[in-house]
Structure 1
Amino acid sequence: MSALEPGGTEGVDRAPRPRRRLWLLISLAALGIVVYLLVVALYASSGARSTMIGDPTASDSDVDVTVSPLAVNGAVERLSLDISVEAPDSLIEANGVAMKKQLLVLVTPVDGAQTVALDKGSIPRITKTTSVVAGGSVENWPFDRYSTGLLVVAYTVDAGGNAEVQQTNVMWKGYLSGWNFAVSEVVPDDPVILEMPDGSQEKAPLLMIEASRSGSTLAFGVLLLSVLVVMPVLVLFVAISAFTGRRKVEATLMSWMGAMLFATIPLRGFLPGSPPIGSWIDFLIVLWVIVALVAGLAVYVAAWSRWGTRATPKESRAGRARRQRSDDELSSNLSADERRRGDEV
């Protein structure tokens, strides 16, 4: 038989196949290590990094206002911030622990009271937690962004109720795990005009804040969604292999497929940031993962019905014919015996 014929084995080199499989395993292992290191590097790079915006060495006559992020609530489009106010030396008594006059810092747009107050006689530092309105759409997770423009104006109020605008130095400081912040001071097209104590006019800048998810969050979400996609691929592969008869049907595999189906929602809920039901990932990925899992389970049930072991062996046509002849012969014999007994009687 020739080596080129289907049954021939002479001269055929079968060594390359195991070698190719080895290289495939090595490549997959290397890819897994690279992905792992990439995720770790992204998480490390987006860790506790404090961002500083503003001039901490500004004039001693300026009111220092430091804004620090606490949380991002995409569901209600809010940024939680710490607003820290420190009065300048010119507004502090000689003892250094009490205010000469009342200092108010207007912060808008925020929920609740829009002013941070340092009353006369109080200590010259205060920190207030507030919630800032920030436009965005959590349905676009993990590419959702939230932005806002914060107006900060400081002014003093004397005993007669007269207000006097103070020079303000606004700073952004801090970090928030899982988020990146782009912060800058921008003068809007229709700015608020401030009357300064020296009679000059200044345009009040806005502290523009934009929050976006960090690279580690994106990588985590992509990997978790990839796991969701792999699940129905495995289920469909097993189901189709069983239905076509290439693999033996094992009824216990249906419980494994059911477990895959019920694991989908917990995995989806494990996504960082907990995107709400109805996000784009639900329509593009999660919904079709569930559909594919149910389809795979249905195909496997059909395979079980087609190839599974029957409760009673299926009788062939020849077997049915033999059984029928045997029944007919038995009936004939019984009828003959009954007739003989009747004749004897």
Structure 2
Amino acid sequence: MVTLGLARSGSSLVFAVFMMAVMWELAASVLIGAWYLTTGPEGLVWPGPAWMAATLFALAALRNTAPGTPPIGCVLDWFAFLWAEPVIALCLITVVITGVHKALREDGPPAWWLWVEEVGGAGSAAVYVACGLWPVADPGWSADAVD
């Protein structure tokens, strides 16, 4: 009787575990960066989202360097890749939306606000605010100051 045993080498196993740790560490660093960018006073700081997008696409390349190039659905995917990708993607989306929102508040009235004031007066502008098309909080200017 012939007995056949298959096993990964120790170095391959160590490298795969290292890759999983790196994926989690990258996701954690993006999460911390997103927290700082969304809670800070700045608007959209472009190096932050650029780094997050680069990390998002770099994880796929890192995953493809695994020993033996395993198919989709391997242990590496279930324990690290399929969790790190959504974390990074959601952080990127959150940073962009929050940054754009902060930047719009800092810039003053948009071009359509001036048109509303010119055509319909302050009453028309109040409709836009009531519908949620412009934030109610005072960003430092008023409809009276637009004249």
> With structure 2 as the length reference, what TM-score do the two structures score?
0.68
For the structure 1 residues 224 and 207, does the alpha-carbon distance in structure 2 shift closer, same or farther, using more than 3 Å as the test? same
Q: Which of 80, 98, 117 lines up with 1:285 in the alignment?
A: 80
Q: Select the structure with the greater relative contact order (CA < 8 A; seq sep ≥ 6).
A: 2
- 1:21-56 deviations in whole A, cap 9, x for unaligned? xxxxxxxxxxxxxxxxxxxxxxxxxxxxxxxxxxxx
Kindly indicate whether the alpha-carbon contact (under 8 Å) linking 1:232 and 1:289 is maintained by their aligned counterparts in 2.
yes
Q: Which of 229, 239, 250 lines up with 2:45 in the alignment?
A: 250
SS class of match (2:100) = helix
The reply on whether 1:261 has 2:56 as its aligned counterpart is yes
* Structure with higher helix content: 2
Matches within 5 A, 1:100-111: none
Find the structure with the greater CA-based Rg: 1
The reply on whether 1:300 has 2:62 as its aligned counterpart is no
For the structure 1 residues 312 and 282, does the alpha-carbon distance in structure 2 shift closer, same or farther, using more than 3 Å as the test? same
For the structure 1 residues 249 and 238, does the alpha-carbon distance in structure 2 shift closer, same or farther, using more than 3 Å as the test? farther
The reply on whether 1:237 has 2:60 as its aligned counterpart is no
- 1:133-162 deviations in whole A, cap 9, x for unaligned? xxxxxxxxxxxxxxxxxxxxxxxxxxxxxx
Counterpart in the other structure of 2:15: 220
Kindly indicate whether the alpha-carbon contact (under 8 Å) linking 1:241 and 1:247 is maintained by their aligned counterparts in 2.
no
For the structure 1 residues 310 and 321, does the alpha-carbon distance in structure 2 shift closer, same or farther, using more than 3 Å as the test? closer
Q: Which of 316, 321, 334 lines up with 2:141 in the alignment?
A: 316
Whole-Å separation in 1 of the counterparts to 2:53 and 2:146? 43
- 1:48-96 deviations in whole A, cap 9, x for unaligned? xxxxxxxxxxxxxxxxxxxxxxxxxxxxxxxxxxxxxxxxxxxxxxxxx
Whole-Å separation in 1 of the counterparts to 2:89 and 2:5? 41
Percent of aligned positions that are identical: 28
Deviation at 1:323, TM superposition (A): 4.8
- 1:90-147 deviations in whole A, cap 9, x for unaligned? xxxxxxxxxxxxxxxxxxxxxxxxxxxxxxxxxxxxxxxxxxxxxxxxxxxxxxxxxx
> With structure 1 as the length reference, what TM-score do the two structures score?
0.31
Deviation at 1:265, TM superposition (A): 1.0
Cα RMSD for the two superposed structures: 2.3
Whole-Å separation in 2 of the counterparts to 1:308 and 1:232? 26
Q: How many residues align?
A: 117
Whole-Å separation in 2 of the counterparts to 1:257 and 1:263? 10
Counterpart in the other structure of 2:5: 210
Deviation at 1:281, TM superposition (A): 2.6
